[in-house]
Amino acid sequence: MQQPGLEKHCTEVIFQLDNNLVITNIWPQKSETWGYATESLFQQKFSSLLSPSHQQPLEARVIPFLLQKDDNPLALEALIVLPNKKESWFSLLIKKESMAPGAMQCIIVATNIDHYKLSQQASAPISSLQETTDIAELKASLKKLEESEKRFRILAENLPTPVSCKTEDGKILFVNKAFSDLFGYTLKDVPTLVEWTQKTNAPLKTNITNTPWKEEWQRKRKELVGGIKRTVEITCKNGDVKTVEYTTALYDGLLYYLFIDVTEKKQREIQLLESYENFKRIAENLPVPIAGYNAGMSINFMNKKFTEVLGYQLEEIKDFDVWYAKFVFPDEATKNQLLDNWNNAVEAYRNGTAIVPYITEMTICCKNGEVKHFEISMSVDGDNVYGMFNDITERKVTESKLLQSHQQLRELTSYLQKIREEERKHIAREIHDELGQMVTGLKMDISMCKKTVGAAMPEMEEKIAGIVELTDKIVKTIRRIASELRPNILDDIGLVATMQWQSREFEKRSGLKCQFETNLEDDAALPADVCSNVFRIFQETLTNVMRHAQATKVVASLIQKENRLLLTITDDGKGFNTLEKQKTLGLLGMRERAIMLNGSFSINSVVDKGTTTTVEVTLQ
């Protein structure tokens, strides 16, 4: 029988008949040779196509021919009635084919020979069934048919995919080498569908319906042309049971099978299913809420604890995206960012590029309306993503209270610092104004006594001079203490001038070079609390340098960049280990001052290479 794909090379119409001369297939199915719709001719007797005078003679010649042992083809000429009711001469080359034991079928190659017959009728009309006078042309057609069949067999034999071919009546015409390698059976082992079924335990009904195979074949003819897929278990010749997926296609009356061995795949699926069932049994009893979704974003699993804690049943939140959009409660931008991070992490796990476990926090509205906080850790298994929901609501509430407490403490500290600064300012003013005036008055009185007593009592002049000198020292000490408590220039002429003055005072007292730089041209707009705290940090840092650094030089800068104020103090001293001294009261005090300004404080120090203190404040 010729194979699909060769129609364009043939001009004949080829019929496949059973032993009752009923048409079981026609090839090519889209022939323009004679005009019939071939599908309409299935299950009709071939003789019904002939002119009435040729019908009975054809059956009288062909039926005995099928019973003969002679394998030579029979060549006849007969009139066939075309759809337009016109009778046309065809040569018929008839070849026998054996089917199941005791049954025969035949192939008829019909070739239009009107051009030849018309030339004969010019001399003598012909109206009865005759043996063909030109068998050479018909044998050439048969040879072409056999060659195409041979090409198909060579192609199919060398395919790496197991292939078999069956007739409508269950005869297996062909199996290739890959078929025998997979199942162990040759064509001699399984010549018919019945024997194949008996030896392999394959389903005889093709897993379609319970109707007999031949009836199903006819009923499903049109559907089968497009191909169907089934998965079955086949017992091989060596006793192994293999799971195969096969595709079937019906063409020209033959059913072709293409097999794929999916035994290992099936075993993996079974192992995966068993693993999944084990996971579900374990996850179901874990004290942590667990939910999972697949690649289609459908939630396909949640354990009892998930329902207990969040209240939702599986059927209530089937879609992950909808659930996330409706019940997760960050602001919209954060929600979208969380989802992007989540999806990127899932993709990284699936690609094998994930480095660390992905853990995120979400605020979720439970079914009863209660809002809870969860820390979600992710696990990816192929297309499935599982999330473990650790309820951290109590922890978040505690953290919130702790942060609130810290904020209150900072506010209290800020308030106390302001009170302290006011008190220092008041004390400094009192010392400067009251005590300073009193000492100045005392000095003036002593000076007058010196003039009055000095001439009368020369021995007292030296003592009075010592008292005057001591009084001058007291005045200087009062001024220094008042300045340290609260420099008047900080309120009078601003932060920059005060820091310049402090730098000069530092140089006088320590003997170290102190270089101060700034780009501030007008510091009058700076808030009072910023000026006060930045100055105190600067003052405390210089004090630390003088006491501990063993430096030779200090460089300080106060730089404003847009709405940021940056104070940097660098010395070339011995440095220290910041991990050991971060908790000293002086450093903690400076850090608290920076935090009160909503700023940052940092120290970078290397042993024997000096220290840099940095304060950054965002101006409102």
Contact present, 41 and 26 (Cβ < 8 Å)? yes
Residue 545, pLDDT score: 92
Contact present, 80 and 51 (Cβ < 8 Å)? yes
Angle at which helices 393-430 and 528-544 cross, to 10°: 80
State residue 439 phi and psi, 5-degree precision. Answer: -65, -40
168: pLDDT strictly greater than 60: yes
Please state, rounded to an integer, the average pLDDT across all residues of the chain.
79
- Look at 618 and 111; give whichever has higher pLDDT: 618
What are the angstrom distances between the C-alpha of 213 and each of 79, 103, 206, 374? 35, 17, 8, 60
Which of 168, 178, 331 is CA-nearest to residue 250?
168
The secondary element (H helix, E strand) that includes residue 499 is helix 495-510
Q: Record the pTM.
A: 0.43
DSSP class per residue in 243-308: EEEEEEEEETTEEEEEEEE-HHHHHHHHHHHHHHHHHHHHHHT-SS-EEEE-TTSBEEEE-HHHHH
Which of 228, 194, 199 is CA-nearest to residue 212?
194
What are the angstrom distances between the C-alpha of 468 and each of 433, 434, 539? 20, 19, 32
Region 508-525: what's the mean pLDDT? 88
Buried b (16+ CB within 10 A) or exposed e, 547-564: eebebeebbbebebeeee
Q: What is the pLDDT of residues 422-480, one digit of tens each?
A: 777 777 777 766 777 787 778 777 777 777 776 667 777 778 778 888 888 887 887 77
Contact present, 167 and 174 (Cβ < 8 Å)? no
Q: What is the pLDDT of residues 560-572, one digit of tens each?
A: 988 899 999 999 9
Q: State in Å, rounded, how far the first CA of the chain is from the last one.
A: 93
Angle at 611 between CA 610 and CA 614, to 5 degrees: 155
Q: What is the pLDDT of residues 469-501, one digit of tens each?
A: 888 888 788 777 776 776 666 777 788 988 998
Residue 99, pLDDT score: 56
Structure tokens at 106: 């035949």
Q: What is the pLDDT of residues 60-82, one digit of tens each?
A: 888 888 888 777 788 888 888 88
C-alpha–C-alpha distance, residues 541 and 175, integer Å:
94
613 burial via Cβ count (<10 Å: 0-12, 13-18, 19+) = buried
Alpha-carbon dihedral 546, 558, 533, 612, rounded to 10 degrees: -40
C-alpha–C-alpha distance, residues 16 and 154, integer Å:
23
Q: What is the pLDDT of residues 599-609, one digit of tens each?
A: 899 999 888 88
Residue 126's pLDDT band (boundaries 50, 70, 90)?
very low
What does the chain come to in residues? 620
Pick left, alpha or beta for residue 386 (phi over 0 → left; psi -120 to 50 → alpha; otherwise beta). Answer: beta
Contact present, 168 and 217 (Cβ < 8 Å)? yes
Q: What is the pLDDT of residues 542-598, one digit of tens each?
A: 989 998 889 999 999 999 988 899 999 999 999 888 776 555 767 888 888 888 888
C-alpha–C-alpha distance, residues 168 and 142, integer Å:
22
C-alpha–C-alpha distance, residues 379 and 384, integer Å:
9
Which of 554, 524, 532 is CA-nearest to residue 617?
532
527: pLDDT strictly greater than 60: yes
Give the type of residue at 98: S
Residue 117, pLDDT score: 63
Give the residue carrying structure tokens 């820091």. 499
Check whether the bond before 28 is cis (ω within 30° of 0): yes
Sheet harboring 104-112: ordered strands across? 23-27, 13-17, 104-112, 87-98, 74-81, 130-131
C-alpha–C-alpha distance, residues 148 and 177, integer Å:
19
Other beta carbons within 10 Å of 314: 13
Residue 33's pLDDT band (boundaries 50, 70, 90)?
low
Residue 355's pLDDT band (boundaries 50, 70, 90)?
low
Structure tokens at 195: 């024997």
C-alpha–C-alpha distance, residues 430 and 194, integer Å:
120
What is the widest separation between alpha-carbon atoms in the chain? 187
